Structure 1
Amino acid sequence: MPNFENISPHPVVRQLLSSAMTSELSSASTNVAVVSLLVKVLNREILRNLQKVVRLRRARLRKDVDTLRHILGVQKFDVGIVCVDNHRIQQINNTYRKKNFPTDVLSFPFHEDLRPGKLPCPLYRDELNLGDIFLGVEFVMKQCQEESFDLHDALTVVTAHGICHLLGYRHETEEEWTEMLQRENYILSEYNRLTGRHLQPLMKKCDHSR
Structure 2
Amino acid sequence: MDEQLITISIDEPFEPLVAEEMLRSVVQRTLLLEGWPSAELTVLVTDDETVCQLNRDYRGLDEPTDVLSFSAQEMQPDATTFVSAPEMVNYLGDVIIAYPVAAAQAPTFGRSVVEELALLAVHGALHLLGYDHGTPGEEEVMWAKQAAILNLA
**TM-score normalised to structure 2 length:** 0.81
Asked whether 1:187 is paired with 2:153, we answer no
Indicate the residue corresponding to 1:90 in structure 2: 52
Q: How does 1:62-77 map to 2 (within 5 A)?
A: 62-77=24-39
Q: Which runs of 5+ in 2 are unaligned?
A: none
1:160-199 correspondence to structure 2 within 5 Å: 160-188=122-150, 192-193=151-152, 195=153
Structure 1 unaligned runs (5+)? 1-42, 196-210
Q: Judging changes above 3 Å, is the alpha-carbon distance between structure 1 residues 130 and 139 closer, same or farther for their aligned structure 2 residues?
A: same
> What do residues 82-118 of structure 1 show as CA deviations (whole Å, max 9, x unaligned)?
11111111111111111111111100111131566x4
Letter paired with 1:102: P
Measured in 2, the distance between the counterparts of 1:112 and 1:181 equals 23
TM-score by length of 1: 0.61
More relative contact order, 1 or 2 (CA 8 Å, 6+ apart) = 2
Q: Which has the higher strand share?
A: 2
Q: Would the aligned equivalents of 1:45 and 1:78 in 2 still touch at CA under 8 Å? A: yes
Pick from 57, 65, 76: which aligns with 2:19? 57
In the alignment, what sits opposite 2:68?
106
**Contact 1:86–1:136 (CA under 8 A) maintained in structure 2:** yes
DSSP 3-state at the match of 2:45: strand
> Residues 120 and 113 from structure 1, CA distance in 2 versus in 1: closer, same or farther, beyond 3 angstroms?
closer
Cα deviation 1:147-185 (Å, max 9, x = unaligned): 552112111111111111111122222233233233334
Report how many residues are paired. Answer: 148
Q: Supply the RMSD in Å over aligned alpha carbons.
A: 2.5
Partner of 2:5: 44
The 3 A distance-change label for structure 1 pair 121 and 76 is farther
> What letter corresponds to residue 46 of structure 1 in structure 2?
T
| TM-aligned CA deviation for residue 63 of structure 1 | 2.4
Match of 1:158 in 2: 120
State the secondary structure of the residue aligned to 1:108: strand
Change in 2 beyond 3 A, CA 1:63/1:177? closer
Query: Highest Rg: 1 or 2?
Result: 1
**Residue pair 1:44, 1:79 contacting (<8 A) in 2 also:** yes
Confirm or deny that 1:137 pairs with 2:103: no
